[in-house]
């Protein structure tokens, strides 16, 4: 799906943006460029220790029949240790060069925070003093958001990790690694996979293409109610100077409503040139899904039947993810109602 805007000015604005996956480590916000991120998964229950491994190496696990080394970003940055919990997430990135093939590695974070689109004018080179100190010389840039009140350090995965050390943990020499890389390339070419942001509503998982997500933000304590608005509009928030209508997706799907919680998020999509926020129970991961794993949408009743365009069957994990058509989340009449709200607030 194309980004908002079809004129030249909007096209330039989109081209000047970077998309990042941000996360927290010891209260500090870091990010990887989304192009470096293969997927984001839950911390596995079983992690196999690696003898004589450096302190930052937690061990290895199996991800879809492949051995995945796991490293702790806390330990890598020399921060104090902390017990792992369900809040921890694994960001899978790939490092290495083209000659011997790239290696996938899971970097364990305290928690994943958001998917961000950042204007490149807000991205600055790392100050020389920071780049040479604190063991964090792998920071490639600093993003200054919210008028400088929020700093996000953008990391360079290739500079952080020892690729040869990771190859050893995977148990393969150069030839084996190259053969596995070649096999992976063939499989990927056949699979024609794509990245999706996966979120939850009640007991169901839903997915949307990562390129359709403008950003993901926390639900504020207060949403501003607007009189004489449709029932499907929960309220509006001020998102960096822009009025953002917010819709409760549970209500749209006819699901039972719940109290606000810290796990809920507002997913911001651009639909017909307008940014609109949708409240979901939680955002669980960013993952690649092969086209071969996607089947046509089942017969669903109500609003879900209109917006679900397919189903991803992840048989090895016994999971089913309903894939949404973002363009169908708001119909023509609702689009008119949202325009009227913006006009009233702008008057």
Where is mean pLDDT largest: 9-18, 85-94, 135-144?
Answer: 85-94
Label residue 143 by pLDDT band (50, 70, 90).
Answer: very high
Quickly tell me which residue has 């129970």 as its tokens.
281
Antiparallel, parallel or unpaired: β 204-209 and 319-324: parallel
Residue 261 has phi, psi (to 5 degrees) of -145, 165
CB 248 within 8 A of CB 260: no
Position 10 pLDDT exceeds 70 = no
Position 100 pLDDT exceeds 90 = no
Residue 170 confidence (pLDDT): 66
Residue 7 confidence (pLDDT): 37
Instruction: Give the C-alpha separation, 330 to 91, whole Å.
Output: 32
Tell me the CA distances in angstroms from 175 to 65, 156, 185, one per residue in order: 19, 27, 15
Q: Stretch 82-90: mean pLDDT, rounded?
A: 85
Tell me the CA distances in angstroms from 324 to 4, 57, 172, 214, 267, one per residue in order: 18, 37, 40, 15, 13
Q: How far is CA 90 from the centre of its chain?
A: 11
Instruction: Give the C-alpha separation, 80 to 82, whole Å.
Output: 7
Residue 171 confidence (pLDDT): 60
Which among 322, 314, 321 is positioned nearest to 63, based on CA atoms? Answer: 314
Q: Which long-range contacts (CB under 8 A, 24 or more apart) does 1-4 make?
A: 1/209, 1/211, 1/212, 1/326, 1/327, 3/211, 3/270, 4/214, 4/270, 4/273, 4/274, 4/275
Instruction: Give the C-alpha separation, 281 to 20, whole Å.
Output: 22
Going along the chain from its start, the domains and CATH numbers come out as 8-190 (2.40.50.180), 194-346 (2.40.50.180)
* Number of neighbouring beta carbons within 10 Å of residue 299: 6
Position 317 pLDDT exceeds 90 = no
Quickly tell me which residue has 């690649």 as its tokens.
288
pTM of this structure: 0.60
| Residue count (the chain) | 347
CB 92 within 8 A of CB 41: yes
Which of 140-154, 169-183, 259-273, 281-295 shows the lowest per-residue confidence on average (mean pLDDT)? 169-183
Mean pLDDT of the chain: 79
Position 342 pLDDT exceeds 60 = yes
Sheet order of strands, 265-271 included: 213-218, 265-271, 274-280, 242-248, 233-239
Residue 99 confidence (pLDDT): 59
What is the token pair recorded at 184? 């992976």
Is the model more confident about 64 or about 330? 330
Is the model more confident about 76 or about 11? 76
Is the model more confident about 170 or about 202? 202
- Condensed to tens digits (0 to 9), the pLDDT of residues 151-186 reads 999 998 888 888 887 877 766 443 334 434 433 443
CA dihedral 231→232→238→243, nearest 10 degrees, is -90
Residue 111 confidence (pLDDT): 84
């Amino acid at each position: 799906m194309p980004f908002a805007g079809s004129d030249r000015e909007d096209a330039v604005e989109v081209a000047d943006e970077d998309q990042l996956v941000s996360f927290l480590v010891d209260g500090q916000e870091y990010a990887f460029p989304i192009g470096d991120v293969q997927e984001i998964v839950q911390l596995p229950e079983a992690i196999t220790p690696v003898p004589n491994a450096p302190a930052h190496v937690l061990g290895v696990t199996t991800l879809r029949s492949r051995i995945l080394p796991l490293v702790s970003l806390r330990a890598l940055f020399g921060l104090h240790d902390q017990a792992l919990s369900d809040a921890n997430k694994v960001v899978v990135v790939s490092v290495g060069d083209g000659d011997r093939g790239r290696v996938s590695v899971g970097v364990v974070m305290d928690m994943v925070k958001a998917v961000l689109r950042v204007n490149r004018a807000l991205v600055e080179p790392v100050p020389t003093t920071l780049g040479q100190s604190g063991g964090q010389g792998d920071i490639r840039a600093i993003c200054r958001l919210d008028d400088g009140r929020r700093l996000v350090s953008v990391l360079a995965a290739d500079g952080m990790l020892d690729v040869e050390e990771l190859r050893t943990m995977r148990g393969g020499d150069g030839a084996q690694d190259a053969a596995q890389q070649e096999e992976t390339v063939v499989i990927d070419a056949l699979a024609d996979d794509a990245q999706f942001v996966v979120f939850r509503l009640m007991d169901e998982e839903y997915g949307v293409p990562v390129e359709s997500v403008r950003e993901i933000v926390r639900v504020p304590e207060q949403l501003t109610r607007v009189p004489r608005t449709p029932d499907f509009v929960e309220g509006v928030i001020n998102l960096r100077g822009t009025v953002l209508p917010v819709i409760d997706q549970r209500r749209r799907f006819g699901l039972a409503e719940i109290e606000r919680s810290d796990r809920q998020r507002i997913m911001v999509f651009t639909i017909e040139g307008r940014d609109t926020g949708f409240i979901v129970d939680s955002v669980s991961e960013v993952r690649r899904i092969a086209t071969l794993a996607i089947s046509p949408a089942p017969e669903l009743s109500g609003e879900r039947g209109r917006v679900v365009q397919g189903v991803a069957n992840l048989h090895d994990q016994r999971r089913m993810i309903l894939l949404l058509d973002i363009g169908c989340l708001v119909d023509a009449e609702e689009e008119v109602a949202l325009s009227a709200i913006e006009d009233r607030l702008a008057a």
